[in-house]
């Protein structure tokens, strides 16, 4: 049995290079307009789910934990009642432990969330490649039709030339229309990438906040365990920043995504794959 030469092996690898494409890459690059829209809608809903379940709800939960602790400390009789300093201290330390545990658990979910967001962005990029390829094909088809029209007099005469000319002129009009439609569709679709980038920035900001807030509460809890006074601990809680604005930004991003996907879905009706 003959051995393959190094050059022969390289040739085989190059000729079968497409076999090494990741399935999600090749599938989405060949997606139809309808598949692009359906896939984009799915990405949008997944992004909203992450925003709602991972960010919005956890912001609300975190704020509630802080609010509950502040309410306990501000309750009538906390400082003037019969509670001993040890009892007061226990309320503070338990509340801080709850917050610490909450952020430690939340932080453990970060890698999975980052991976999901990255995959959603990859999906949109692959769909964009698919749309650009369709546009290139349509432009190439238009160019060929125009060339055929130009050389028609060399290939046809009299009645046949008249028939071919009229046919090509109509086909050129329709092809130009498809190019214009694809250009408009892609222009709107490209807005989704910008919105997803903003969503990614917000998610990254939230994750970064989680990572750092977790460290704050771990440190605060350790400090309290060492017996720092109640007043200092309560003042530290007052200094914590709210994440409500970030949740508003996420909701705003949803609305933008909804608007663009709705517009793209309406545009899709004019395409026939």
Is-contact 138 79, C-beta < 8 A?
no
Q: 85-108 and 158-225 helices cross at what angle (nearest 10)?
A: 150
Specify whether the CB–CB gap between 192 and 257 falls below 8 A. Answer: yes
Average pLDDT over residues 124-140: 90
**In the predicted structure, residue 14 carries a pLDDT above the cut 60:** no
The pLDDT tens digits for 147-166 are 999 999 999 888 999 999 99
Across 145-171, b (16+ Cβ under 10 Å) vs e yields: beebbeebeeeeeeeeeeebeeebeeb
Q: Which of 35-44, 99-108, 232-241 has the lowest mean pLDDT?
A: 232-241
Does residue 13 carry a pLDDT above 60?
A: no
What is the reported pLDDT for 80? 58
Average pLDDT, integer, range 78-92: 67
Domains belonging to the chain, first-starting first, are 25-268 (1.10.287)
Q: pTM of this prediction?
A: 0.64
More confident residue, 132 or 7: 132
pLDDT for 19 = 39
């Amino acid at each position: 049995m003959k051995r393959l030469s190094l050059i022969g092996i390289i040739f085989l690898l190059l000729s079968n290079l497409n076999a090494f494409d990741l399935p999600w890459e090749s599938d989405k690059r060949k997606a139809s307009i309808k598949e692009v829209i359906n896939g984009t809608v799915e990405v949008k809903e997944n992004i909203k789910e992450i925003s709602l379940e991972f960010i919005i709800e956890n912001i609300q939960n975190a704020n509630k934990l802080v609010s509950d602790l502040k309410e306990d400390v501000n309750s009538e009789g906390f400082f003037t009642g019969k509670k001993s300093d040890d009892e007061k201290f226990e309320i503070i330390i338990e509340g801080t432990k709850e917050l610490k545990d909450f952020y430690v658990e939340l932080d453990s979910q970060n890698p999975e969330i980052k991976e999901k967001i990255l995959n959603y962005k990859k999906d949109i990029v692959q769909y964009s490649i698919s749309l650009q390829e369709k546009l290139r094909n349509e432009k190439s088809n238009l160019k060929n039709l125009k060339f055929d029209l130009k050389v028609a007099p060399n290939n046809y005469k009299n009645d046949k030339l008249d028939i071919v000319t009229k046919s090509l002129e109509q086909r050129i009009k329709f092809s130009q229309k498809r190019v214009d439609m694809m250009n408009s569709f892609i222009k709107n679709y490209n807005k989704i990438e910008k919105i997803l980038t903003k969503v990614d920035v917000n998610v990254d900001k939230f994750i970064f906040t989680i990572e750092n807030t977790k460290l704050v509460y771990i440190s605060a809890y350790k400090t309290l365990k060492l017996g720092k006074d109640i007043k200092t601990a309560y003042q530290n809680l007052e200094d914590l920043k709210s994440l409500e604005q970030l949740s508003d930004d996420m909701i705003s991003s949803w609305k933008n995504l909804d608007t663009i996907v709705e517009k793209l879905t309406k545009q899709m009706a004019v395409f026939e794959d």
